[in-house]
Chain A
Amino acid sequence: MGDGRLVAPQAAAAYPRRERRVRGERFLAPALVSPAVLLIGLTIAYALVYAFYISFHEVGLRALRGGSAPFVGLQNYRAVLSDSLFWSSFRHTLVFAGASVALELILGPAIALAMNQAGVSLAVVTQGVILLPWAIPPVVNGVMWSFLFNSKYGYVNAILLRLGLIGEYVQWGSDPNLAMLVVIVAYVWRTTPFAVLLVHAALRGIPPELFDAAEVDGAGAWQRFRSVTIPLLVPTLVVLLVLRTVFAFMVFDEILAITDGGPGDSTWVATWYIYSFAFRYLKLGVGSAGAYLLSLALGLLAFLYVRLLYRRVEY
């Protein structure tokens, strides 16, 4: 799989071949690794298997109170797959993920380039505050944007009206498309800094000699950008594409804080569907079935991305 750039830059060097062993060390490595492996095994591996088990059982209030959880075969999966709300939630997830990943992949490199520009003193300030949106609690981010976009008291309407861009206050919350737009704006604002950081690190990693050589060969600024910068950014962009898509599929906090799934079901995304079934309607089996389908979709997506894109990235 290429040069292993999907993982951290240092990761490829993470395995120094040390054959020489210190006496009595045979059991040291397992002893050091096992506490972490045990805890991860319980909270992730065992939980994943257990979720699979739950998805074939009827787990409701009765089961939670210590009663039985009868085996129901594929019934939960059938319930999910025949539920039109599941499919519309899935569609909304695709729209949300497609739009936000596209925006992150455009804005991320654009901001990183501006931040990296030599001789611009303001760029240093940008570098200092770029992390802020990434660091704040996602649910607070949702609260913030839901206030800013509030149709009566929010600043977005006030500013747009003053600039003459709108004739009257826009009801952001009651139009399905606008509600989705607000969630996307909030999410992209919080997550783009991560893309900026990775691209910025990649930009700084490009040896300046490459630009000098291109300049000696008579390449202009645009040509240097096209034939030096962009090709060297591609591996980073692929990493971002995979990661950001997977994480966009998991959006939850902003939905809860901004739209609560509404208006109607227009911002029900996959995680919202699963959460609602499991913890609002207390159908944990159905929720788990939905969650498994989401995981499968994500696994497939990550696999396809890596297979399709990695071939082309090796240059």
Chain B
Amino acid sequence: MRGRRAVLWGTLANGLILIGILAPLIGLALGSIQTERDLFANVPHIWPKHVTAENLSALVLGVEVPGVPPHARSFPRAFANSAVVAIGVVLLTLLLATLAAYAIARLRFRGSETLAYWLLATRMVPLIVLIVPLYIMLGRLSLLNSLGGLIVAEAGLFLPYAIWILMGHFAAIPVEIEEAALIDGCTRLGALWRIVLPLAAPGLAACGVIVFLLSWNELLVPLILVSTQTGMTLPVLVSSFVTVRYLSYTLLNATGLLALLPTLVLALLVQRYIVRGLIAGALAGR
């Protein structure tokens, strides 16, 4: 009977954990599908009296809706900026990280181990130290307020982590397969392209998804490097809503909800890859 009791307790514990994970998200969703007036009038009630998509549709369509402040109209632009930046960062990071990680994992060269450990050490450098010089450097290059500048900066900051994730995956591919290709007359880069990369595809996917999330979620870097209304990414837009305290709660909640939806979808759909990448890097985001 001890077994059955353990299962009972385990079920109870998992139930509590699930509530802990999901309840705050449900709270946020509930706080975004009602009007501000209802929220204020309906204080002690948990379920909203009237459900409305007003906030969400105002944001998504970028239209002016009575009662919804005009800030909401920047949402589609910010969403597009976030997507462009995140995809750009993923592509640039994957390209450079693949080449570097392959070289470190496969072509032993002088200083490769030292390089690997220096890359690890950079993860201990707080971003806040780097952001002041980056701001001044990009300003000198006239790259402030440009999505291109932001992409390059973020790619540089995430590269060491991406290289670490990929190194583990390249090292796990049996050398023999690659050697066979080399003996058959394949060049090194040919072997990398035709043999190693297809085998490392799950690792590349893991790395890509994690870098996408890092970029999509990043606040400080775009907050400092891009200050124009048209260049804002979603986290920056959310932070600008936060500092404008008169903005409505329900609209802020709706913005937050829409900003986190893509991350939830990724976390649910490609969870396997993310976990693989996190464990390979063992040095995940903040």
In Å, the complex CA distance between A129 and B73 comes to: 32
Q: Chain B interface: which size bin?
A: 35 or more
What is the minimal beta-carbon distance from A58 to any residue of chain B, in angstroms? 13
Fill in one digit per residue for A200-216: 1 if any B CB lies within 8 Å of its CB, else 0. Answer: 01000000000000000
Pair A140/B260 contact, Cβ less than 8 Å: yes
- Residue of A at shortest CB range from B152? A39
**From residue 248 to 289 of chain A, which have CB atoms closer than 8 A to chain B?**
249-253, 256-257, 260, 271, 274-275, 278-279, 284, 287-288
Please name all residues of chain A whose beta carbon is closer than 8 Å to the beta carbon of B15 when the two chains form the complex. Answer: 122
Pair A153/B40 contact, Cβ less than 8 Å: yes
> Which one of A5-13, A81-89, A225-233 is at the interface?
A5-13
Please name all residues of chain A whose beta carbon is closer than 8 Å to the beta carbon of B136 when the two chains form the complex. Answer: 50, 54, 59, 64, 284
Pair A150/B249 contact, Cβ less than 8 Å: yes
What is the minimal beta-carbon distance from A14 to any residue of chain B, in angstroms? 4
Fill in one digit per residue for B118-132: 1 if any A CB lies within 8 Å of its CB, else 0. Answer: 011010111111111
Q: Which among A25, A115, A288 is the interface contact of B132 at CB below 8 angstroms? A: A288
Pair A9/B115 contact, Cβ less than 8 Å: no
> Which one of B51-59, B193-201, B267-275 is at the interface?
B267-275
Fill in one digit per residue for B5-49: 1 if any A CB lies within 8 Å of its CB, else 0. Answer: 011001101110110111011011011000000011001111000
In Å, the complex CA distance between A35 and B100 comes to: 8
Fill in one digit per residue for A1-34: 1 if any B CB lies within 8 Å of its CB, else 0. Answer: 0000001111101111111001001001110110
Please name all residues of chain A whose beta carbon is closer than 8 Å to the beta carbon of B139 when the two chains form the complex. Answer: 64
A158, CB-defined interface residue at 8 Å: yes
What is the minimal beta-carbon distance from B213 to any residue of chain A, in angstroms? 6
What is the minimal beta-carbon distance from B31 to any residue of chain A, in angstroms? 5
Please name all residues of chain B whose beta carbon is closer than 8 Å to the beta carbon of A145 when the two chains form the complex. Answer: 24
A-B contact count (CB 8 A): 339
B284, CB-defined interface residue at 8 Å: yes
What is the minimal beta-carbon distance from B125 to any residue of chain A, in angstroms? 6
Pair B133/A51 contact, Cβ less than 8 Å: yes
A295, CB-defined interface residue at 8 Å: yes
In Å, the complex CA distance between A189 and B251 comes to: 23
In the assembled complex, 13 residue pairs joining A and B whose CB atoms fall closer than 8 Å, in A order, are A15-B171, A22-B182, A35-B100, A44-B160, A136-B263, A137-B216, A139-B219, A143-B255, A155-B31, A158-B44, A250-B128, A253-B220, A295-B125
In the complex, besides A28-B188, A36-B97, A115-B17, 18 extra interface pairs with C-beta distance below 8 angstroms are A8-B280, A9-B168, A16-B106, A16-B108, A17-B108, A18-B106, A22-B188, A25-B188, A36-B100, A39-B155, A48-B130, A50-B136, A126-B17, A140-B256, A148-B24, A152-B43, A158-B43, A194-B284
